[in-house]
Amino acid sequence: MGSQADRKTRLPVIKNVRAAYLNKTDNLMKTLLGWSTVTSAERNGVKRDALFKRLAIYFEYIVFNNQLTPVGLPLPGVGKLSQTEFLSYIVAKDKYEAVRLQKNKKFTSIFLDCWDFVEDERDFELGLSSAISEQMKGRILHYAHKKEMKEGEFIHNLAFKQLCGDMWHELQLYSSFKKYDPNIAGNLSIDLGKVFSDYSKNEGILVEDISGNSQYIPDFGDFTWEQIIELRSDPFIKSFRTKMHSSFRSKDNDPVDALDQLAIDGLWSVAEYAKPNLGKTLLNAILSNVPTPIPVYGIMSALKDGANKIDLAHDNGWLFFIQGARGIHSKKP
């Protein structure tokens, strides 16, 4: 998190960043992530680079808490490791890609430092320790014991301790930071979702549910960083995020099925927009492909009415984003 002295030298910049950040009240813009969530995801089979890539698409900013990491510490032969350097190394496929990412402002701008938004670090740290109740801690202990310890085993093993520590820290960070930014999107591990029903539908878990399980929405964890950065500039990405987060807030038991149905409905809607401008043979060919993806960009160019194009983009922009993402991913790196 850096020293108080480091923060004092950066204070004017921090104040500007904080002011700009807090003006962005839309929770589609930002999610909170700590190292405990990263290790919890890995424990459940999610690679760290895939986790970061997915979040970089579903959110504009990742507010990262660098506690429990070597950020800001002097390392032999390296010096103090910055947050940007640390994150680039843990998500890159090799050191050469890490160096390229460090120099790419479109990559570095994804990440904000959690501690830049904390006025009083000591007060915040004290708040972390009291953020969850003894009852909540007890439920976490019970869950970790059942998951990581054998029946009849009483001495806590390393896996048990690590799971408890990660879950406590995740919940403490999220609960405390919500006081600074009530609009921050949740990004908690599936383990916490299993223990506390209130967190079973948090945005982080739902992003993981969608990734690899949807018929239409690609798993952005499989993309390269170059492709992720390109997609973050797509004109329809906000439409995609709006649709995703609207689904997150719905009461559907299975948001993946609900999103896939919305995609089918949207594809039919796209075809209907194009109906007056397409020949009968082509229209039938398109409709016969539903529910498989249809060439929405081709239909857009086929429309002659400018008003129809605007309506089509407004209502179904998220499908244009998905189509564009599929096209980018199909290209060889």
- With 90 as the cut, is the pLDDT of residue 52 above it? yes
pLDDT digits (tens, 9 = 90+) for 168-198: 999 999 988 888 888 888 888 889 989 988 7
Structural domain of residue 124, as residue ranges? 4-211
pTM over 0.75: yes
The average pLDDT across 36-52 equals 93
* Residues 152 and 59 placed together within one structural domain of the fold: yes
* Residues 169 and 251 placed together within one structural domain of the fold: no
The average pLDDT across 1-18 equals 50
* Residues 274 and 169 placed together within one structural domain of the fold: no
pLDDT digits (tens, 9 = 90+) for 101-147: 999 999 999 999 988 888 777 778 777 878 888 999 999 999 999 99
Number of structural domains, the chain? 2
Residue 70 lies in a domain: yes
The average pLDDT across 20-42 equals 77
* Residues 105 and 190 placed together within one structural domain of the fold: yes
pLDDT digits (tens, 9 = 90+) for 65-85: 998 898 988 877 767 889 999
* Residues 49 and 101 placed together within one structural domain of the fold: yes
pLDDT at position 144, please? 93
Residue 180 lies in a domain: yes
* Residues 148 and 207 placed together within one structural domain of the fold: yes
Q: Report the percent of the chain where pLDDT is more than 90.
A: 34
pLDDT digits (tens, 9 = 90+) for 285-331: 444 444 444 455 555 554 444 445 555 666 778 888 988 898 888 87
Residue 230 lies in a domain: no
* Residues 100 and 193 placed together within one structural domain of the fold: yes
- Nearest alpha-carbon partner for 168 in 67, 83, 50: 67
